[in-house]
Amino acid sequence: MRFISGREMIAHAYENGYAIGAFSAHNAETIQAILWAADEEQAPIMIQVGQRVIHHIGLEAMKRMIEEFAREVTVPVCIHLDHSRQIEQTFKAIQLQFQSVMFDGSALPFAENAAITRKVVDVARALGIGTEGEIGKIGGTEDDITVAEEDAMLTTAEEAVRFVEATDVDYLAVSFGTAHGIYKKTPKLAFERLEEIREVVRRPIVMHGGSDVPDDQVRRAISLGVAKINVDTELRQAFTRGMLNVLESNPEEYHLAVSLGEGRNVMKQKVQEKIRLFGSSGKAKSFFG
């Protein structure tokens, strides 16, 4: 195992036409599901630590737990702080040597978002840590952060290039039709807008709300510069489904190792599906020269 800067990992994906799966972890079993899937696929992997799990378990505790389980695998791993809306928390993650951090100032006025993101970029880059910023509002709920559908808006190319010029962020999350959580109807991504943004920012783009997006649209997005795809909801669904399978077949099965273990197995399969879809299978060897 080798920990890799998000900047290096995402840049390689961008330059070679595939995407890194950025999978959210919530406990020991979900960490294992992500790592074991990546190891079997020999894929570079990004494990995301989100706001809800930070409130539940703690930032440092999650970082240490991921590091411990990562000793068991042979693929490049990047630990990423997701959707931080507090600069103090973002700097704490940098201090803890996360390999990638995201300050999410998308709810702030443009100037404030850009100014804070720039501070994060300056500190993180000096330490070799990758940075993600967001411009535009992506709908749905991510952890405890909700953006109503009527408030979500597509990022314009003008906004994107202004933000990149002001922050020099390594990879940019933009809104082009995805949403966090469960889609009420099949999403239709705005590929013309994505292509416009790609042409002006000329750096990796991040797709938030990667769960339940049709495979053909995912592949098209990757061809247009998306190099990091966040997946959470589908993984939680898979994990829960695995646990329910155990309890439905034997309602008196109280050994958590059994139900949690089956949740881990089903989630691992889902992670593997996504890795193959994103084109990152077999790419681990590229990071070991």
pLDDT digit string (tens) for 201-250?
999 999 998 888 999 999 999 999 999 999 999 999 999 999 999 999 99
CA distance 213 to 19: 14
What residue ranges do the domains of the chain occupy? Answer: 6-287
58 annotated as ligand-binding: no
pLDDT digit string (tens) for 17-66?
999 999 999 999 999 999 999 999 999 999 999 999 999 999 999 999 99
Q: Is 151 a catalytic residue?
A: no
Q: What is the dotted CATH code of the domain comprising 6-287?
A: 3.20.20.70
83 annotated as ligand-binding: yes
Would you say residue 182 has pLDDT above 80?
A: no
Q: Residue 210's pLDDT is what?
A: 81
Question: Tokens 């990757």 correspond to what residue?
Answer: 222
CA distance 289 to 197: 33
* pLDDT band (50, 70, 90) for residue 151: very low
Candidate list 82, 122, 168, 212, residue with the active-site label: 82
CA distance 5 to 45: 11
Q: What tokens does 194 get?
A: 């994505």
Round the average pLDDT of the chain to a whole number and report it.
Answer: 93
Sheet holding 179-180, edge to edge: 145-147, 139-142, 179-180
Q: Residue 181's pLDDT is what?
A: 63
Contact by Cβ (8 Å): 50, 104: no
pTM of the model: 0.93
265 annotated as ligand-binding: no
Tally of CB atoms within 10 A around 53 = 20
181 annotated as ligand-binding: yes
Average pLDDT over residues 71-93: 97
Residue 229 phi, psi dihedral angles, 5° rounding: -125, 120
Contact by Cβ (8 Å): 194, 221: yes
